[in-house]
Structure 1
Amino acid sequence: MRVAVADVGTNSTHLLIAEAQGGHYRVLDALKVRTRLGECLDERGHMTPQGEGRLREALLRFRELAGALEVPSVRVYATSALREAPNGPEIAERMRQETGVYPVIISGEREGRLTYLGASHAVDFGEDNVLLDLGGGSLEIVRGHGEEVQDVISLPLGGIRMQDRFLRRDPTSKSEYRALVAYLHGALEPYQARFGVSEATQVFLSSGTAQDLALALAAGRGLTPSSTNGLRISVEDLGELIGQLRRMNEEERAQIPAFAKRARIIVAAATVLHTALTVLGASSAVISEGALREGMLAEELQRHEQYVSGLSARHRSALALAERFRVDLPHARQVTALSRELYTQLCEQGEALPSHGRGLLRAAATLHEAGQLIAQSSHHKHSAYLIRHGGLLGFGPDEVELVAQIARYHRRSLPKDSHPEFVVLSGADQRLVSQMAAILRVADGLDRSYGGHTRLEALERSGKGWQLTACVPNTLDRQGAQEKADLWEREFGPLSFVWLTEEDCLNEEEMALPLDGAQINSPTA
């Protein structure tokens, strides 16, 4: 299985493509684009057309590289820059339409949890850990017990944000620097009790800024490490380095190899980290090269390993066929899980569904987008063709035909008597196809963003129809479910929705990123 993940930050946008290999992953390629979206905000905080153009170009490059490595899609998470821009959701939707890649905007807390997960596969965590992840727009602080996240806070204290707000002179003046430090103390001290460190606490830093600072400190000792992962830096040494950098202008700072691409903001960014470490009571910290995108990758591969381990032989065949046809496996897995849950809850509410429909629905959900291999246009029909002729094992000929037709109706036209393949089915099979396709359409709509964030809470009868309560942080997924409830209404009655807030979703068990499943490890080199 190959996976492509990317994160859109305030300063840079990163792509990571990897392949799962028996509980580990091997990085196939990586690409970093300095989009500098933090520079592309107008006076109201809106992303400008220039920033939108930079993001579009990066996403197109990512999609091209992923396609060259036969990865069908790129999962993209957007952080502070798009999260805080009032027009961020509009830009994300335009990116989907124009590039075929949708940058899912995630909360700072979600970002912190994923970063902690990424760091946990790069360095050894202890019983009590505090992780600081500094970006251009925000600072995430995470406390964890071993590999389990216990507390997360996201603060608008990013390096670019602090640079633009406080450090206007070059070199930095004493008054500007003191104002920045005072502001940081005021912003951080309310969280001292929650994230303060003791002698038993291990402190980690995860960001490009932290890595650059570690390289500079190592160079000052005459060292040239090949990697910063696992390097320890002292707070005292960091403070001395900041004192030196404050006396330099940007051109002079750029002459230091570690800061060649971060010379403008390095004083502000380093000051954020130094002040945070000081307020929390840390004397040193260890660098982790694992960050958000590594967390995204680890989470995705972990979910896949757990999913595959629970498959029957014939559904392993469906998954193998999906891989052969380059199906977007994370999306297929999410739609399959949502379909199964909707089927189960319908049965629990007394709906008389055919028992053998469950397995057919699962196979159809796994393969519903196989037709994308041929063309996006009419891919639902192409999916049906590939299922019929792809050699799906473990299913009889009649069952294969039913799987093909369920997948065929996951989008566009509803089943009707004018469709030749549908009309030749028996009445019972027509009913089965329509019911299973109705479930599949809603499940597919609930992951329209391909973000994998939706989780169902309850499906209950409501008058002559149904009410579905779900954690759906993404507006696009909400719209997708509403638009694709047409066949559901015909088969089961009207479907209404109750959307839980993002905070509710983050408090749920799935969003807590448990690490008790299959261990996924990064390569050592």
Structure 2
Amino acid sequence: MRVAVADVGTNSTHLLIAEAQGGHYRVLDALKVRTRLGECLDESGNMTPEGEERLRGALLRFRELADALEVPNVRVYATSALREAPNGPEIAERMRQETGVYPVIISGEREGRLTYLGAAHSVEFGDDNLLLDLGGGSLELIRGSAEEVQDVVSLPLGGIRMQDRFLHRDPPGKSEYRALVAYLQGALEPYRGRFGAGPDTQVVLSSGTAEDLALAVAARAGQAPSSVNGLRMTLDELGGLLGDLRRMSEEERARIPAFAKRARIIVAAAAVLHTALSVLGAREVVISEGALREGMVVEELQRHEDYVAGLTARHRGALALAERFRADLPHARQVTALSKELYDQLSGQGQALPEEGRGLLRAAATLHEVGQLVTQSSHHKHSAYLIRHGGLLGFGAREVELVAQIARYHRRSLPKEAHEDWTALNREDQTLVSQMAAILRVADGLDRSYGGHTRIETLERSGKGWCLTACVPNTLDRQGAQEKADLWAREFGPLSFVWLSEEECLDAAEMALELEGGRPA
């Protein structure tokens, strides 16, 4: 299995393409584009056309590289720059339409949790770890154990943000630098209790800025490490470097190899890290090369491994066929899980459903987009053809035909008398196809962004119809489900929706885990 993930930051946009390999992953390719979106904000905080064009160019390059390595989809998470821009959601939707890649805007907490996961697979984590991840727009503080995240906060203290707000002279003036440090101390002091470093706390830094600072500290000591991962740096060493950088002009800082590409903002960024470490009582740090995108890869591979472990033999065959036809496996897995949940809740509420439909629906959900191997246009029809003729093991001829037709109706036209394949079925099989396709359409709509974020809470009868309550942080997924509830209304009655916010979803998850005696990871 191959995955392509990317993160859109305030300064840079990164792509990572990896392949599962014996419980770990092997990096196949990586690409970094300095989009500098933080420079492209107007007075209202909106992303400018220049910023939109930079992002479009990066996503098109990512799509091209993923295609070359036969990865069907690039999963993109957007952080501070788009998260805080009022027009961020509009830009994300235009990117989907113009590039075929949708940058899912994630919260600072989600960003922190994924970064922690990436760092934990790069350096050895102990019982108590404090991770600081510095970006251009925000600073994430994450505390956790070797197994799970316990606390996260995202603060608007990114290096570019602090540079633009406080440091306007070159070299920085003493008064403006003191104002920056005072501001940082005030912003960080309220978090000393939650994130303070104890005697046994391992403090970890992740981000390109932290890596460059550690390399510069090593160079001052006459060292040239082959890898920055696991490199250690003391607070005093960072303070000494920062003191020198403050006295240099931007041109002088640019002559230092580690800072050639971030000379303008390195003083502000180093000040954020130095002040944060001082306030939190950290005296030494270890550098992790693993961060957000590595966490995205690890999460994706873990999800896939857990999913495969629960498959029956014949559904492993469906998954193998999906992989052979280069389907987007993360999307297929998410739609399959949502389809199963909808089926189970419908059945649990007393809706009469054919028992064999459960397994056929699962196979159709896994294979519903294999037709994209042929073309995006009418891919639902191509999916049906490939399922019929692809050699789907473990299913009889009738079952293969039913799987093909369920997949065929996951989008566009509903089953009708003008469709020869559907009318060729007997009445019971027509009902089965229509009901399973109705479920599949809604499940597919709930992952229209291909982000994998939707979680179904409840499905309950509501008058003559149904009400679905779900954690759907993404507007695009909400729209997708609403637009694809047409066949559901015909088969089961009208479907209404209650959308929970991301905060409500996290609260619900924490409550559920507390009842089970655990904590959210």
Q: TM > 0.5 between the two?
A: yes
Q: For structure 1, which segment, 212-221 or 145-154, has the greater mean C-alpha deviation from structure 2 after superposition?
A: 145-154
How do 1:325-336 and structure 2 match up within 5 A?
325-336=325-336
- Matched ranges for 1:296-375 at <5 A: 296-375=296-375
**Map of 1:153 onto structure 2:** 153
1:137 match: 137
- Output one character per residue of 1:216-248: Cα deviation in whole Å (capped at 9) or x when no partner: 000000001111111110001111111100000
Q: Which amino acid aligns with 2:180?
A: L
Q: CA deviation at 1:21?
A: 1.2
Conserved? CA contact 1:218–1:225, under 8 Å: yes
8 Å Cα contact 1:446/1:454 also seen in 2: yes
Q: After superposition, what is the alpha-carbon deviation per residue over 1:388-423, rounded to whole angstroms, capped at 9, x for unaligned? A: 000000000000000000000000000001100000
Cα distance in 2 for partners of 1:423, 1:382 equals: 19
Partner of 1:281: 281
Does the Cα contact within 8 Å between 1:232 and 1:284 map onto a contact in 2? yes
Query: What amino acid does structure 2 have at the position aligned with 1:375?
Result: T
Per the alignment, residue 226 of structure 1 pairs with: 226
Equivalent residue for 1:215? 215
Contact 1:506 1:512 in 2 (8 A): no
Which position in structure 2 is the counterpart of 1:194?
Answer: 194
Deviation at 1:511, TM superposition (A): 12
Aligned to 1:263, the other structure's residue is in SS state: coil
Assess if the C-alpha contact under 8 Å between 1:35 and 1:58 holds in 2: yes
Which residue of structure 1 lines up, in the alignment, with residue 517 of structure 2?
none
Matches of 2:155 and 2:299, distance apart in 1: 24
Deviation at residue 506 of structure 1 after TM alignment: 3.0
Q: Distance in 1 between matches of 2:320 and 2:146?
A: 35
Spell out, residue by residue over 1:283-302, the C-alpha distance to the aligned partner (whole angstroms, 9 max, x if none): 01100000000000000000
**How far did residue 147 of structure 1 move?**
2.5
| Equivalent in the alignment of 1:244 | 244
Equivalent in the alignment of 1:15: 15
State how far apart, in whole Å, the 2-side matches of 1:150 and 1:511 are.
14
* Preserved CA contact (<8 Å) 1:19 1:27: yes
Query: Where in structure 2 are the equivalents of 1:18-417 lying within 5 Å?
Result: 18-417=18-417
- Determine the C-alpha separation between the residues in 2 that align with 1:193 and 1:485: 48
Q: Distance in 1 between matches of 2:53 and 2:187?
A: 34
CA deviation profile, 1:275-331 (whole Å, cap 9, x unmatched): 000000000110000000000000000000010011111000000000010000000
What amino acid does structure 1 have at the position aligned with 2:53?
G
**What one-letter code is carried by the residue in structure 2 that aligns with 1:392?**
L
Match of 1:448 in 2: 448
| Residue equivalent to 2:503 | 503
Cα distance in 1 between the residues matched to 2:484 and 2:62: 29
Check 1:45–1:256 CA distance in 2 against 1; reply closer, same or farther (3 A cut). same
C-alpha distance in structure 1 between counterparts of 2:203 and 2:246, whole Å = 25
Q: Counterpart of 1:167 in structure 2: which amino acid? A: L
For the 8 Å contact 1:113–1:512, the answer to whether it is kept is no
Note if contact 1:384-1:408 (Cα within 8 Å) is conserved in structure 2. Answer: yes
**Cα distance in 2, alignment partners of residues 233 and 94 from structure 1:** 43
**SS at 2:15's partner residue?**
strand
Counterpart residue identity of residue 285, structure 1: V
Could you tell me which amino acid in structure 2 is paired with residue 147 of structure 1? E
For residues 217 and 66 of structure 1, the distance between their equivalents in structure 2, rounded to whole angstroms, comes to 36
Query: Unmatched 5+ residue regions in structure 2?
Result: 514-521
Matched residues in 1 for 2:511 and 2:420: separation?
A: 44
* Matched length: 514
Relative distance call for 1:34 and 1:508 in structure 2 (3 A) is farther
Q: 1:434 aligns to what SS in structure 2?
A: helix
Following superposition, the deviation at residue 504 of structure 1 comes to 1.6
Equivalent residue letter for 1:335: V
Residues 77-127 of structure 1: per-residue CA shift (max 9 Å, x gap) = 000000000000000000000000000000000000000000000000010
Does the Cα contact within 8 Å between 1:149 and 1:512 map onto a contact in 2? no
SS of structure 2 residue aligned to 1:503:
helix
Secondary structure of 1:32's counterpart equals strand
Aligned partners of 1:234, 1:46: CA distance in 2, in Å? 39
Q: Is the 8 A contact 1:110 1:506 kept in 2?
A: no
Q: Secondary structure at the match of 1:230?
A: coil
**Matched letter for residue 356 of structure 1:** E
The residue aligned with 1:517 is none
Q: How big is the shift at 1:145?
A: 1.7
Which secondary structure does the structure 1 equivalent of 2:350 belong to?
Answer: coil
Q: How far 1:505 moved relative to its partner?
A: 2.2
Provide the C-alpha distance between the structure 1 equivalents of 2:186 and 2:244, rounded to a whole number of angstroms: 25
Shift of 1:507: 3.6
Distance 1:21 1:509, change over 3 A: farther
Q: Which moved more, 1:235-244 or 1:87-96?
A: 235-244
Q: Give the whole-Å Cα distance in 2 for the aligned partners of 1:320 and 1:511.
A: 37
Give the superposition deviation at 1:150.
0.3
Distance 1:423 1:509 in 2: 44
Q: Residues 169-191 of structure 1: CA distance to partner in whole angstroms, max 9, x if unpaired?
A: 00011101100000000000001
In the aligned structure 2, how far is the partner of 1:352 from the partner of 1:98? 42
Q: 1:188 to 1:341 in 2, by over 3 A?
A: same
The whole-number CA distance in structure 2 between the counterparts of 1:242 and 1:175 is 16
Amino acid aligned to 1:382 = H
- SS of equivalent to 1:459: strand
Secondary structure in structure 1 of the residue aligned to 2:225: coil
Determine what percentage of the aligned residue pairs are the same residue: 83
Change (3 A) 1:412 1:425: same
- Does the 8 A contact of 1:117 with 1:147 survive in 2? no
| Deviation, structure 1 residue 24 | 1.2
CA deviation after TM superposition for structure 1 residue 508, in Å: 4.7
> What amino acid does structure 2 have at the position aligned with 1:82?
L
Does structure 2 retain, via aligned residues, the 8 Å contact 1:505–1:511?
Answer: no
Q: Which of structure 1's runs of 4+ aligned residues deviate more than 2 A?
A: 505-513
State the Cα deviation string for residues 38-71 of structure 1 (Å, max 9, x = none).
0000111000000000000000000000000000
Q: Secondary structure of 2:228's match?
A: coil
Helix, strand or coil for the counterpart of 1:447?
Answer: coil
Question: Matched residues in 1 for 2:424 and 2:137: separation?
Answer: 59
**TM-score, structure 1 normalization:** 0.97
1:200 partner letter = D
Q: 1:18 touches 1:27 (CA, 8 Å); kept in 2?
A: yes
Matching residue's letter, 1:224: A
CA distance in 1, matches of 2:355, 2:76: 37
**Alignment partner of 1:113: what SS?**
helix
* Separation of aligned partners in 1, 2:148 and 2:36: 32
TM-score by length of 2: 0.98
Distance of 2:505 and 2:14 partners within structure 1: 26
Counterpart of 1:413, as a letter, is S
Q: Which secondary structure state, in structure 1, belongs to the residue aligned with residue 137 of structure 2?
A: coil
How far residue 146 of structure 1 moved from its aligned partner, in angstroms, is 1.6
The equivalent residue for 1:516 is none
